[in-house]
Every structure is written in structure tokens, then in C-alpha cells.
Amino acid sequence: MKKRRYSVLNSVSRPAEAAGPGVGRRRFLRGLGLGGAAAVGAVAMPNVSRAQTVTWRFQSTWPQKDIFHEFAQDFVKRANEMGGSRLKLDLLAAGAVVGAFQMQDAVHAGALDGGHGVAAYWYGKNKAFSLFGTAPPYGWDANHLLGWFYYGGGEALYRELVNDMLKLNVVGFMSGPMPTQPLGWFKREINSADDLKNLKYRTVGLAADLMKELGVAVTILPGGEIVPAIDRGLIDGAEFNNPSSDRVLGFPDVAKNYYLQSFHQRVECFEIIFNKQKFDALAAEQKAILRYAAEAASADMGWKQQDRYSKDLQEMQQQKGVKAVPTPKPVLEAQLRAWDKVIDSLSGDPYFKKVVESQKAWVQRVAGFYNLYDADARMAFQHFFKA
């Protein structure tokens, strides 16, 4: 594969959505006038003394009101409290410095020191990014994905992509296992795979390839732009992620058919990234704080979402008239067949194929173990809650 450097300037196309502390959009663009090498080199710094406070601009890719921004805040809170007076992250919402889809470029250049998002957002640079954020549904869940990343060789493969192949000045961690994402919101009913054909639909990452295979007209939009696009009739349907995000972003106001369960994004987690030169210059204990804060926030998110997602789904059903139903089985079956074609097509790239083979080996062993080991939770649920 030909090695390529990516320019922040090429990816910045929209004005900042909101003003915020730290570097503004205009200052960010002026900084690029230094040139790529100079801009990256300018962020290098010596190891920080224990007496100094390191304060970093840390932007999420999420709107301020989204629970995902709250999850970013939960990470920042842990890092700051463990860092004491020696390490501080200042959290900004999407658009404070750059738009959601430009966050990685800004971290690479040093205009941001770090950020919170999903690896699938960088799918335009290399489709293998989506394997680390929205991987195919081999029969595993997002917690298994995190296990693969930290114990199954995934982290080394991630560094190979980010640092060796793309030469990005970025270091990253995976965090925050997400449950299965809904197929999404539609103004009309979806009963078969044929009902999806030619629909204008929003998704991201490999799910875009999957839905195109099903005949869908895919549009890729950041979270804050989806509901306005549905409201104006620019798209016919969309998914974002979960009931809490969907409720606060306003999906129930523009559509009522909410299809739960899907294989388009069955396995997803967050990505937390930092400027590599700045991260490498930190003291060892500060690096550890950032890594372990990502692990702690990951666990807390798993607990918090149990409470919030279930409450918000009930509220939308009871107060907003939302019709929340499972995605029809024929659609799920069509998705799995389409995944076969997408994986086979993209596995012509040796690196993509290597990551897929690593993931499949992990799933076959680990998910195979839990399939054999765990009792059927649905069977027990149906026994105790017959009504």
C-alpha cells in the first residue's frame, strides 16, 4: 500500500459550530500556514517536570447535549482527578475548534491535544479504521472487541495502521463498549430488505459499504446534522447510536418508526486519541493516568448506559409515541449475506485481511467459549417476566 500523509487543510470545510475556550477555527487554520512538518514538529516538548501542570485542549466529536459528550466528560473527570495538579484536560464539544470529522487531523497537527470519538470517523483515510470501531458482527459484542484490542493483538495492529502506514502523529486507546445499535429511524415501515432499496440513509464506517450492498443510498453525516437532514427531507432514514442520544438529538420529533436490533453496527466502541509527540513527552505516570482513565471510564460507561438507555427508550415510547420494534428477520439475514460480500471485497487489501483474520480467530475462541459457557439469558428472562 502506498504511504500517504493527510492534510488537515484538505479536511476542514465547515465553520465552527460554536465558540469555545482555547484555539478557535481561524487560529487553527492560520497555524497550518507553518506547513505540515513544521506544524507537527512545533508540538514537541521536553519531559514535563512533576512541579508543572500540563493543560491540554481535548475535544469530543459530539454535540454538547449528547450523552456521548457526557461519556467524554466522564473520562476527562477521571484523568483530571487522578492527575491532581499535574495533568488537566479541558473538554470542548464538537465544533469548538474543528468539526467532528476533522478532529483527528487537528490532533495530528497539534491544534488539539486530544479527542474523543470513534475510529469509524476516519474511514475515509483507510477503511480498516472501521474494524477498530464498528467491526463486522462475527458473533461477538463490543466487550469482546475491547478484549481483542488489549489482549488479542488489536492494539499492535492499530499502531501499525496509525503510525506506520498513515504516519499520523497520534496515539490512541479504545474505550466504552456499546450495545447493538438500532437499524434506526424511518418515516415509513421497513418489513423487508427490499424496503431499504433506494432509501437515502445516514450511517458511517463499514456500515456504509454494507448498506450500499443492500441498495441503500448512503449519506455520511456527523451526529448534530442528522435530525435536520431528516426534517428537511434530505434523507429518508438514519441511525446514530442509542436511545439516549437519539432522544436528545430530536429523532422522535421527525420520525416514529424506530427499528431496534441490527447487524450494521453490532460491535462498536469509542476511541480516545492524543497528539503522539506530546503524549510521548509526558512522564510515565502521566501516560499511565490517561490509559487507566480510559479503562475506568469504559467500565463506568457500561454501567451508566444500562440505566440511561432503558429509561430513555421507555420515555420515547410512552411520551413521544415512538413505535420501537425489532428489525424484521429477513432484513437481518440480508445484512449478514451482505457482510460476506463486503468483507470479501475489502480483504483484497493485505492489511485489512490481516486484521479480519486476527479478529475472527479471537471471536472463534472467545465468543465460542461464552456460547458454550453461559446459560441463555433470554430463556431466564422469559421465565421470570412472562408478562
Instruction: Report DSSP letters for 203-246, one per residue.
Output: --THHHHHHHHTT-EEE---GGGHHHHHHTTS-SEE--S-HHHH
Q: How many CA atoms lie within 13 A of 373 on its CB side?
A: 6
Cβ(276)–Cβ(171) under 8 Å? yes
pLDDT at 127: 95
Domain chopping of the chain, boundaries:
10-33+50-177+267-307
d(CA 251, CA 46) in angstroms, rounded, equals 47
Q: Give pLDDT tens digits for 253-275.
A: 999 999 999 999 999 999 999 99
Question: Read out DSSP for 294-329?
Answer: HHHHHHHHHHHHHHHHHHHHHHHHHHS--EEEEPPH
Minimal CA–CA distance to 143: which of 366, 374, 341, 376?
366
Cβ contact 63:224 at 8 Å: yes
pLDDT above 90 covers a percentage of the chain that reads: 82
Write down the pLDDT at residue 37.
36
Distance from C-alpha of 306 to C-alpha of 316, rounded to nearest angstrom: 16
Please give the average per-residue pLDDT across 97-111, as a whole number: 97
* All three cell numbers of 134: 464498528
The C-alpha atoms of residue 179 and residue 143 are separated, in whole angstroms, by: 9
- 53, 108 contact by CB (below 8 A): no
CA 303 to chain centre: 18
Averaged over 315-336, what is the pLDDT?
A: 97
Rg of the chain over CA atoms, in angstroms?
21
113: cell is 491535544
* pLDDT bracket for residue 14 (50, 70, 90): very low
Summarize the confidence of residues 58-79 as an average pLDDT. 96
58: β partners: 91, 114
Q: Can you give the pLDDT at residue 51?
A: 56
Confidence of residue 387 (pLDDT cuts 50, 70, 90): low
What residues contact residue 156 under an 8 Å CB cut-off, 6+ apart? none
Q: Domain spanning 10-33+50-177+267-307: which CATH class is it, in words?
A: alpha beta
Return the number of other C-beta atoms located less than 10 Å from residue 349's C-beta: 15
Q: Is the pLDDT of residue 7 over 70?
A: no
